[in-house]
Amino acid sequence: MIDWKKYLLVFLITVSLFFTAGFISNYFGDQKIDQIKSIQDNIAISILSSETQFALLQESSCKNVSGSVLSDELDELGDKLEWGEKNLGVTTEVTYLKKYYSLLQIKDYLLMKKISAQCKVKSAFILYFYTTAENCSLCEKQGIVLSALRDKYPELRVYSFDYSIDLSAVRAMLQIYKIKDTLLPALVIDDDVLTGFYSVEDLESRVKESFKLQEKN
C-alpha cells in the first residue's frame, strides 16, 4: 500500500525548507545591503565633512585637510557592490546603491582634485567608463589593469562608472568627455580621453607623467 499522506507530507516539508532557505537568504541579503548602505553613509559624511572643512579653511591651512575619504574605503565599497550585483541580483536596491556610489565617486574626485591642486598632494586620477549592458571583454581586461595599477600606486585614484547607469551626473561626464558606448572601455587621465584597451605599461607612463605634472605646478 502506498502511503500517499507521507508523499504529501514530505513534499510540504521540502517546500517549507525551500521557503525557509529563501527567507534566510533574504535576511542575509538585506543585511549585506544594509552594510553597503552604512559604508556609503560613512563615506558621504566623510566627503561632506572634508568639503566643508576645505571650504572653511580654504588653502590657508592645507595641513588640516584630511585626505578626504580613504581610497581603500571606496574600493571596498566598489568590491562589495560588484559582488552584490553578481550574487544578490540586480535589484532596484542594488541599482540605487550603485547610483549613490557613482555620485560619491564624482564628489570624491572633484574634492580630491581640488585638494591635490591647492595643497600639492601627490596624486593621479583616472576616470574609467565601462559597460555591463553588453559583453565587453576589453572592459574586463581594462579593469584588471587598473586594479594592478592601483595596487602599485596607492596615490592613484581610479573612479569607475557604468556607461549604462541612469544618473544625470554620469551622463554629464559622458557629455563633457564625449564618450560613446561604441568606444568602451574609455579612460580619462589629465583631461585626455583614451578609448579602447590600454596595457599596464601604457598607463603606467601616463600615471607617472601625471605625478610629474603636479610637481611642476
Partner 1 sequence: MPSVSNLIFYTFLLLSVYAQVFFFVTFLENRKKIIVRKGKIKLANYPAVTVVVPCWNEERTVYRTVQSLLNLNYPQDKLQIFLIDDGSTDSTWAILNKFAKYPNIQIFRKENGGKYTALNLGLAHLETEFFGCLDADTLVDPESLSRIMSYFEGDPTVMAIAPSVTVYNPKNFLQNAQKVEYFMGVYFKKMLGFLGAINVTPGPLTIFRRKVFEDLGPYRHGHNTEDMEIAYRMQKNRYRIEHCNDAYVYTATPSSIGKLYRQRLRWIYGFINNTLDYRDVLFRKKYGNFALFTLPTGIISIFSVNYLFGRIVYNLFHFLSTKILVINTVGWNFPAISSNFDPFFINAQSFTFLVLLVYLLIIFSITFGRKMAEGKWTFSLSVLYFFPVFSIIAPFWLLSAIYDTIISRRPSWR
Q: Pick the closer one to partner 1 by CB: 33 or 106.
A: 33
Instruction: Identify the three-state secondary structure at position 187.
Output: strand
Q: Pick the closer one to partner 1 by CB: 9 or 57.
A: 9
Q: How near is the Cβ of 14 to partner 1 at its closest, in Å?
A: 5
Backbone angles phi, psi at 134, to 5 degrees: -135, 170
Q: How near is the Cβ of 177 to partner 1 at its closest, in Å?
A: 24
Q: How near is the Cβ of 145 to partner 1 at its closest, in Å?
A: 6
Q: How near is the Cβ of 27 to partner 1 at its closest, in Å?
A: 8
First-to-last CA distance in the chain?
Answer: 91
Convert 75-89 into a string of H (helix), E (strand) and C (coil): HHHHHHHHHHHHHCC
- Helix spans in the chain (H): 4-57, 71-87, 92-119, 137-152, 168-176, 200-216
Q: Pick the closer one to partner 1 by CB: 121 or 138.
A: 138
Contact 73, 43 (CB under 8 A): yes
| Residue 121: all three cell numbers together | 598632494
Q: Pick the closer one to partner 1 by CB: 59 or 140.
A: 140
Phi-psi region of 15 (alpha: psi -120 to 50; beta: other; left: phi over 0): alpha
- Residues near partner 1 (CB under 8 A): 1-2, 6-7, 9-11, 13-14, 17-18, 20-22, 24-25, 28-29, 32, 35, 80, 83, 87, 140-141, 144-145, 147-148, 151-152, 199-200
Q: How near is the Cβ of 85 to partner 1 at its closest, in Å?
A: 13
Q: Pick the closer one to partner 1 by CB: 1 or 55.
A: 1
